[in-house]
Structure 1
Amino acid sequence: MPAASPLRSAVEVLPAEGGPSVAARFTVADTETVLPGHYPGFPIFPGVCLVECARQGAQATLPAGAKGASLTAVESTRFTGPVFPGDRVDIAMEWKRTPAGDWQCRAKLTTGRGPAAGVRLRYALPAADREAAA
C-alpha cells in the first residue's frame, strides 16, 4: 500500500551529480490543501509537510545498497524558518550507512530566505536482505 501524503504536488528529484549527496525540490503551490487551515489569513506550510518533502525525496533517491529499504524512523527534525505559499523548497540529502547496517538520510531544506528545516530519516532493509548484505 502506498504511503498517504498531505502534499498535493510531488517532490521533483534533481539529476544526481555523483557522490553521497542528492537533491530534490518542491514548490509550495497556493492550492496545497493544508494551507487554508494553517494560520488562516497568513498561511504557513506546516512542518509535517517539510518532513514529507524529505521523505519523498529520500524514497526516490535510495542508494543502490538500500533498494527495498523502508522508513523505520524519523530520527530528528528541526524547523528553522517559515515556508510560505509560492516558496521553492530545495532539499539537499546525504546518505550514509550506519554501524547497525541501516541507512540514514540527512536532509537540509532551504528556501530563498535561508534554512527552513533539517530532517534525519532512518531506513532499514528487510531482515533477509540485511543478512545477505552483511
Structure 2
Amino acid sequence: MTTTREFCTPVDGTPEVTDPGTGEGPARTVVLVEPSEKVFAGHYPGFPIFPGVCIIEYVHHSALATLPEPGDDWMLAAIESTRFLSPVFPGNTITTELTWSKVKDSDALRCKAVASSERGKSAQIKLRFERRGNR
C-alpha cells in the first residue's frame, strides 16, 4: 500500500491507497478522520462536522496518489464540480473511489471521485489536473 506525498494542507491525515486502479476498475483510498483534526475546534463547537473543503482536500491528495500518468509535474487546475451528500463526523473513515479519464482535445486529466463514509456517499467531486507550465 502507498500513501500520498507531503505538502502544505489544512488536513492532518494522509489517504492510504488500497487499490491503485491499474486496469479497468477505479482507484481507491481510505483515510480516518481523526477527532484530533484541527478544523473541528471551530466547525462546529459542540457538534463537530468535517468541512466540505477538507473532503475536497482528501480527494485531491487521493488523486495525486493515484495519477494514471507518471510524473511530479501534475497540478490541480480546477474543481469542476462538487456535490455534498451527507456529513462526515470525527472518527469516520472516508473511502474514495476515483475514476480517471483524459480531457478531450487536451493533455489534461479528469478525476471523478465519490467519497463515502460509514453512512454512504458523502460527496461527488470532479477535479481537472494539468501539467505545470501548460496553463
Query: Given the alignment, which residue of 95, 120, 130 partners 1:114?
Result: 120
- Correspondences of 1:79-94 after superposition (within 5 Å): 79-94=84-99
- Correspondences of 1:48-87 after superposition (within 5 Å): 48-64=53-69, 68-87=73-92
Q: What RMSD over aligned residues (CA atoms) do the two structures have, in Å?
A: 2.0
Mapped partners of 1:98, 1:61: distance in 2: 17
Aligned with 1:4: secondary structure? coil
Using the TM superposition, give the Cα deviation of residue 8 of structure 1 relative to its aligned residue in structure 2, in angstroms. Answer: 1.0
Q: Go from structure 1 to structure 2 and tell me whether the alpha carbon gap of 1:65 and 1:9 turns closer, same or farther (over 3 Å shift).
A: closer
Aligned with 2:80: secondary structure? strand
Using the TM superposition, give the Cα deviation of residue 66 of structure 1 relative to its aligned residue in structure 2, in angstroms. Answer: 6.7
Give identity over the alignment, percent: 36
Mapped partners of 1:105, 1:65: distance in 2: 15
2:39 corresponding residue in structure 1: 34
Q: Which amino acid aligns with 2:81?
A: S
Using the TM superposition, give the Cα deviation of residue 33 of structure 1 relative to its aligned residue in structure 2, in angstroms. Answer: 0.4
Q: Which amino acid aligns with 1:116?
A: S
Mapped partners of 1:77, 1:50: distance in 2: 10
- Structure 1 stretch 98-107 or stretch 88-97: which is displaced more? 98-107
1:132 corresponding residue in structure 2: none
1:104 aligns with 2:123: no
Q: Which amino acid aligns with 2:129?
A: Y
Q: Deviations over 1:94-130 (max 9, x none)?
A: 00001132100011001111110011100112457xx
Higher Rg of the two aligned structures: 1
Aligned length: 128
Q: Which amino acid aligns with 2:113?
A: A
Query: Which runs of 5 or more residues in structure 1 are unaligned?
Result: 129-134
Aligned with 1:10: secondary structure? coil
Q: Go from structure 1 to structure 2 and tell me whether the alpha carbon gap of 1:8 and 1:65 turns closer, same or farther (over 3 Å shift).
A: closer
1:13 aligns with 2:24: no
